[in-house]
Amino acid sequence: MAGTVTLRLPVASPQARSAALTEPRPVRWALIGVALAFLSLFLLVPLAAVVVEGFKKGVEAYLAALVEPDTLAAVRLTLVAALVSVPLNVVFGLAAAWAIAKFSFPGRNLLITLIDLPFAVSPVISGMIFVLMFGGQGWFGPWLDAHDIQIVFAVPGIILATTFVTFPFVARELIPLMQEQGPEEEEAARVLGASGWQILRRVTLPNIKWGLLYGVILCNARAMGEFGAVSVVSGHIRGETNTLPLHIEILYNEYNFAAAFAVASLLTLLALVTLVAKSAVEWRQARLLRPAADQSMEAA
């Protein structure tokens, strides 16, 4: 639910409309102007603020904030969390989409709804449930203590919370895509004697690669940027359990604004790269689909 969109086609260029079906030119330009003003105020100005504030104390201070050991440790932990949670959710997404799209069984729609659950949960609650399970007062707390294993307020907790909040991304891209494609191609491969893994590698994966990539891009952006859930399970120990967003919070609360924005500019860059990659996949998808649409128009 909240927090994402499924692979969509970019809006087609608007067709020229007859005068009766569109607004007078001044009205059109006024509406465009108000819309662009709103978007600039809420999207462009904050983006510009990050860059300007990051460089406020000069390029040297900016670079110094980035190579500071605690920042580098935060970069490392952010990468580790994403490198574990994204592949886990890719495997899950493939398995869930395979079961749901290629077979029919009772409770399929319920399963799809349950997969969306993490999007409906507040980030703070997403972190809290792992504290309730593995924290000192939690279900497994005493046992973990006895065996000297620490999950919350340590790296495993951060990975768990990150995996939870990014759980639905890949699955919800792949399920509708594979449902639409149907099981026919896989069945044909099966009849021709392909094994399960051969079908997956040679038929299914090539068919879903763009949807899969799209899911991975969105999943990764969220994994690297998650704040609330990770904040609850992190011990906020500098250089040890701080991810990049948490490091930004600490710097900001210490009134070290230039450094906070310098680190924030890294994540802003990640967001922009995400948007570009996402648009590239959308355009690619549109190019793949459009010839098919044209053909079906001709046939009709």
Partner 1 sequence: MSARRRTLPGFGLSLGFTLAYLSLLVLIPLSTLFVRSAGLGWDGFWAAATSPRVIASYRVTLLTAFSAATINAAFGLLVAWVLVRYRFPGRKLVDALVDLPFALPTAVAGIALTTLYSEHGWIGSRLAPLGIKVAFTELGIIVALTFIGLPFVVRTLQPVLQDLESEIEEAAASLGATRLQTFQRVLVPALWPALLTGFALAFARAIGEYGSVVFISGNMPMKTEIAPLLIMTKLEQFDYAGATAIASVMLMASFLLLLTINVLQWWSRRLTA
Piece of 15-23, 59-67, 207-215, 287-295 that binds partner 1 (CB under 8 A): 15-23
Confirm or reject binding of residue 296 to partner 1 (CB under 8 A).
Answer: no
Which residues from 112-141 bind partner 1, rule CB under 8 A?
113-118, 120-125, 128-133, 137-139
Confirm or reject binding of residue 205 to partner 1 (CB under 8 A).
Answer: no
Amino acid, single-letter form, for residue 1: M
CB of 76 to partner 1, least distance (A): 17
Which residues from 207-266 bind partner 1, rule CB under 8 A?
218, 221, 224-228, 231-232, 244-246, 248-249, 252, 257, 260-261, 264
Confirm or reject binding of residue 151 to partner 1 (CB under 8 A).
Answer: no
Tally of CB atoms within 10 A around 207:
15
Confirm or reject binding of residue 289 to partner 1 (CB under 8 A).
Answer: no
Piece of 14-22, 67-75, 141-149, 289-297 that binds partner 1 (CB under 8 A): 14-22
CA distance 130 to 136: 11
- Is the Cβ–Cβ distance between 174 and 208 less than 8 Å? yes
215 or 225, CB closer to partner 1?
225
Provide CB contacts within 8 A for 270, sequence distance 6+.
221, 224, 225
Confirm or reject binding of residue 143 to partner 1 (CB under 8 A).
Answer: no
**Closest C-alpha to 231, from 219, 223, 241:** 241
The 22-51 site mask, x for binding partner 1 (CB under 8 A), equals xx----x--xx-xxx-xx--xxxxxx-xx-
Amino acid, single-letter form, for residue 267: L
Fill in the DSSP letter of residue 147.
T
Which residues from 87-106 bind partner 1, rule CB under 8 A?
91-92, 94-96, 98-100, 102-105
Which residues from 51-90 bind partner 1, rule CB under 8 A?
53
* Greatest alpha-carbon span in the chain: 77
Piece of 19-27, 59-67, 69-77, 143-151 that binds partner 1 (CB under 8 A): 19-27
- Indicate the burial class of 91 (C-beta count within 10 angstroms; 0-12, 13-18, 19 or more): exposed
**Closest C-alpha to 244, from 269, 216, 219, 273:** 269
